[in-house]
Amino acid sequence: MKENKYLLLFLLFSGILINNKVIAQDDSIVAEEIVKLKYYNSKNSMQFLILENYQRTRKKSEPLVNKKFQLYLDSIQPETLIAAITTNNTGKAKSFLPINLKNVWEASATHKFIAIAAGKEAEPAAAIEITKAKIHLDTTTSDGVRSITVTVSKYENGEWIPANEVEMKVGVLRLGGILPAGDEGTYTTDSSGTITVEVTKDSLPGDTNGNFLIAARVENNDQLGNLEVEQLVPWGVAVKTGKDFFSQRTLWSTRFKTPFWLLFMAYGIVLSVWGTLIYLIIQFFKIKKLGKIHTTR
Amino acid sequence: MSCNCNKGECNGGNSRREFLLTGLMAGIALAGCGDKKTPFKTEGDVALTGEKVKLLSVDGEVIEVDRAYLKPVPDLPTLSNSEERKGIAGKKFVMVIDLARCKNLKKCQSACNHMHYVHPGQSWIKVYSMKDSEHSAPYWQPTTCMHCDEPPCVKVCPVDATFKRQDGIVSIDSNRCIGCRFCMAACPYSTRVFNWEEPELPEEIADQHYSCETSIPQKKGTVGKCDFCPDMVRKGELPHCVSACPNGVFMFGDMNEDSVTNGAETFRFSELIKDKSGYRLMEDLGTKPSVYYLPPVHRNFPYESGIENQQPQDLHHH
Amino acid sequence: MIWTGILILFCLIGVYAYYRQLSKGLVVTNMRDYVSWGIYISNFVFFVAISLVGSLITAIFRLANIHWSTPLTRIAEIIAVSAITFASIIIIVDMGRPERLVNLVAHGRLQSPITWDVIVIGTYFFISLLLLYIPMLPDLKILNEQKNIKPGWIKRGYKFWGGFWKGTKEQSKISRRSIIILSIMIIPVAFCIHTVTSWLFATTYRPGWDSTNFGAYFVSGAFLVGAGAVIIAMYVFRKYYHLEKYITEKHFDRMGKALVLLAFLYLYFNINEYLVPAFKMKKPEEAHLTQLFAGEFAPLFWFAIIVGMVIPVIVLLFKKGRKPLPMFVIGIMVVVGAWFKRYLIVTPTLLHPFLPMQDVPQSYKHYFPSWEEWAIAIGTLAGALLIITIFVRLFPIIPIQETITEQNEKNEGK
C397: Cβ–Cβ under 8 A, 6 or more apart, which residues?
C74, C75, C78, C237, C241, C243, C391
- Asked which of A29-33, A260-264, B168-172 is least confident by mean pLDDT, the reply is A29-33
Predicted confidence (pLDDT) per residue in A63-103, tens digit: 888 889 989 988 888 888 888 889 988 888 888 888 888 88
Domain match, A146 and A171 both: yes
Phi, psi of A164 (to 5 degrees): -95, 170
- Distance between alpha carbon C194 and the CA centroid of its chain, in Å? 10
Please tell me which chains touch A, using 3 or more CB pairs under 8 Å as the contact test. B, C
CA distance B5 to chain A (A): 7
CA distance B296 to chain C (A): 17
Domain match, A85 and A147 both: no
Q: How far is CA C328 from CA A125, B285, C240, C315, C332, in A?
A: 85, 47, 14, 12, 6
Q: Assess contact for B300 and B6: CB atoms under 8 A.
A: yes
Determine the average pLDDT of the residues in A168-172.
Answer: 92
- Report the mean per-residue pLDDT for chain A: 84
Predicted confidence (pLDDT) per residue in A94-151, tens digit: 888 888 888 888 888 889 999 998 888 878 888 899 899 999 999 988 888 899 999 9
Distance separating the N- and C-terminal Cα atoms of chain B: 36
**A13 Cβ under 8 Å from any chain B Cβ:** no
Q: How confident is the model at residue B249 (pLDDT cuts 50, 70, 90)?
A: very high
- Asked which of B6-20, B210-224, C355-369 is least confident by mean pLDDT, the reply is B6-20
For residue A190, is pLDDT > 60? yes
A218: β partners: A227
- Of A252, A277, A295, which to mutate for an interface test with C (greatest number of C Cβ within 10 Å)? A277
C contacts of A279 (beta carbons < 8 Å): 181
CA-CA distance, A269 to C366, in Å (whole number)?
Answer: 41
Predicted confidence (pLDDT) per residue in C134-149, tens digit: 988 888 888 887 766 6
Domain match, A96 and A141 both: no
Could you tell me which chain C residue has the CA closest to the CA of B192? C33
Query: Is B117 strand, coil or helix?
Result: coil
> Residue by residue, what is the 3-state secondary structure of chain C?
CHHHHHHHHHHHHHHHHHHHHHHHCHHHCCCCCCCCCCHHHHHHHHHHHHHCHHHHHHHHHHHCCCCCCHHHHHHHHHHHHHHHHHHHHHHHHHCCCHHHCCHHHHCCCCCCHHHHHHHHHHHHHHHHHHHHHHHHHHHHHHHHHCCCCCCHHHHHHHHHHHCCCCCCHHHHHHHHHHHHHHHHHHHHHHHHHHHHHHHHHHCCCCCCCCCCCHHHHHHHHHHHHHHHHHHHHHHHHHHHHCCCCCCCHHHHHHHHHHHHHHHHHHHHHHHHHHHHHHHHCCHHHHHHHHHHHCCCCHHHHHHHHHHHHHHHHHHHCCHHHHCHHHHHHHHHHHHHHHHHHHHHHHHHHHCCCCCCCCCCCHHHHCCCCCHHHHHHHHHHHHHHHHHHHHHHHHCCCCCHHHHHHHHHHHHHHC
State the DSSP string of chain A. Answer: -HHHHHHHHHHHHSTT-----EEEE-SS-EEEEEEEEEEEEETTTEEEEEEEEEEE-SS-EEEPPS-EEEEEESS-SGGGEEEEEE--TTSEEEEEPPGGGHHHHHH-SEEEEEEEETTBTTS-SEEEEEE-EEEEEEEEEETTEEEEEEEEEEEETTEEEE--S-EEEEEEEETTEEEESSS-S-EE--TTSEEEEE----S-B-STTS-EEEEEEEEEETTTEEEEEEEEES-SB-----SHHHH---TTS-GGG--HHHHHHHHHHHHHHHHHHHHHHHHHHHHHHHHHHHHH-
Domain match, A107 and A190 both: no
Matching CATH number, B15-39+81-314, of 3.40.50.300, 3.20.20.120, 3.30.70.20, 2.70.70.10: 3.30.70.20
Q: How confident is the model at residue B24 (pLDDT cuts 50, 70, 90)?
A: very low
Could you tell me which chain B residue has the CA closest to the CA of C34? B190
Helix (H) or strand (E) holding B224: strand B223-224
Q: What is the pLDDT of residue B15?
A: 40
Answer yes or no: is A258 within a domain: no
Picking from C337, C369, C383, the residue whose alpha carbon sits closest to that of residue C46 is C337
Determine the average pLDDT of the residues in C229-233.
Answer: 90
The answer to whether A253 contacts C110, with C-beta atoms less than 8 Å apart, is no
Q: Assess contact for B66 and B49: CB atoms under 8 A.
A: yes
Helix (H) or strand (E) holding B185: helix B182-186
The answer to whether C26 contacts B156, with C-beta atoms less than 8 Å apart, is no
Predicted confidence (pLDDT) per residue in B49-107, tens digit: 777 888 888 888 888 888 878 777 777 778 888 889 999 888 899 999 999 999 999 99
% of chain C with per-residue pLDDT over 90: 69
Burial of C87 (0-12, 13-18, 19+ CB in 10 A): buried
Residue ending a domain, choose from A187, A205, A233: A233
CATH fold group of domain C2-99+121-356+371-396:
Formate dehydrogenase/DMSO reductase fold (1.20.1630)
**A257 Cβ under 8 Å from any chain C Cβ:** no
Q: How confident is the model at residue C235 (pLDDT cuts 50, 70, 90)?
A: very high
Q: Assess contact for C64 and B224: CB atoms under 8 A.
A: no
Most confident segment among A21-30, A198-207, B46-55, C186-195: C186-195
Q: How confident is the model at residue B45 (pLDDT cuts 50, 70, 90)?
A: low
Domain match, A107 and A144 both: no
For residue B29, is pLDDT > 70? no
- Report the mean per-residue pLDDT for chain B: 84
Q: How many CB atoms lie within 10 A of CB C329?
A: 17
Domain match, A25 and A115 both: yes
Domain match, A20 and A123 both: yes
Burial of A29 (0-12, 13-18, 19+ CB in 10 A): exposed
B207 DSSP assignment: T
Q: Assess contact for B92 and B221: CB atoms under 8 A.
A: no
Residue ending a domain, choose from A130, A165, A191: A130
CA-CA distance, C249 to C239, in Å (whole number)?
Answer: 12
Domain match, A84 and A142 both: no
Determine the average pLDDT of the residues in C204-229.
Answer: 93
- Report the mean per-residue pLDDT for chain C: 90
Please tell me which chains touch B, using 3 or more CB pairs under 8 Å as the contact test. A, C
CA-CA distance, C236 to C328, in Å (whole number)?
Answer: 8
Single pTM value for the model: 0.87
Determine the average pLDDT of the residues in C50-79.
Answer: 83
CA-CA distance, A220 to A168, in Å (whole number)?
Answer: 10
CA-CA distance, B16 to B19, in Å (whole number)?
Answer: 5
Q: How confident is the model at residue C264 (pLDDT cuts 50, 70, 90)?
A: very high
C contacts of B143 (beta carbons < 8 Å): 355
Could you tell me which chain C residue has the CA closest to the CA of A288? C164
Domain match, A111 and A146 both: no
- Of C123, C141, C164, which to mutate for an interface test with A (greatest number of A Cβ within 10 Å)? C164
Give me the residue spans of the domains in chain B.
15-39+81-314, 41-77
Could you tell me which chain A residue has the CA closest to the CA of C116? A266
Domain span at residue A31 reads: 16-130
Could you tell me which chain B residue has the CA closest to the CA of A34? B31
The answer to whether B186 contacts C204, with C-beta atoms less than 8 Å apart, is yes
Counting the structural domains of chain A, the total is 2
Say whether the peptide bond before residue B217 is cis (omega within 30 degrees of 0): yes
CATH code of the domain in which A172 resides: 2.60.40.10
Please tell me which chains touch C, using 3 or more CB pairs under 8 Å as the contact test. A, B
Residue ending a domain, choose from A233, A251, A286: A233
For residue A28, is pLDDT > 70? no
% of chain B with per-residue pLDDT over 90: 60
B contacts of C108 (beta carbons < 8 Å): 158-159
Q: What is the pLDDT of residue C398?
A: 84
CATH code of the domain in which A124 resides: 2.60.40
Q: How confident is the model at residue A176 (pLDDT cuts 50, 70, 90)?
A: confident
Answer yes or no: is A88 within a domain: yes
Q: How confident is the model at residue C53 (pLDDT cuts 50, 70, 90)?
A: confident
B contacts of C112 (beta carbons < 8 Å): 155-159, 182
B contacts of C353 (beta carbons < 8 Å): 188, 190
Q: What is the pLDDT of residue A157?
A: 82
- Of C18, C114, C358, which to mutate for an interface test with B (greatest number of B Cβ within 10 Å)? C358
Determine the average pLDDT of the residues in C303-329.
Answer: 93
**C178 Cβ under 8 Å from any chain A Cβ:** yes
For residue A241, is pLDDT > 90? no
For residue B3, is pLDDT > 50? no
- Asked which of B41-50, B239-248, C132-141 is least confident by mean pLDDT, the reply is B41-50
Query: Is B98 strand, coil or helix?
Result: strand
Q: Which amino acid is at C52?
A: L
Q: How confident is the model at residue B316 (pLDDT cuts 50, 70, 90)?
A: low
Domain match, A29 and A118 both: yes
Please name the residues between 83 and 142 in chain C that touch chain A, using a CB distance below 8 Å: 107-111, 116, 119, 123, 126-127, 130, 134, 137
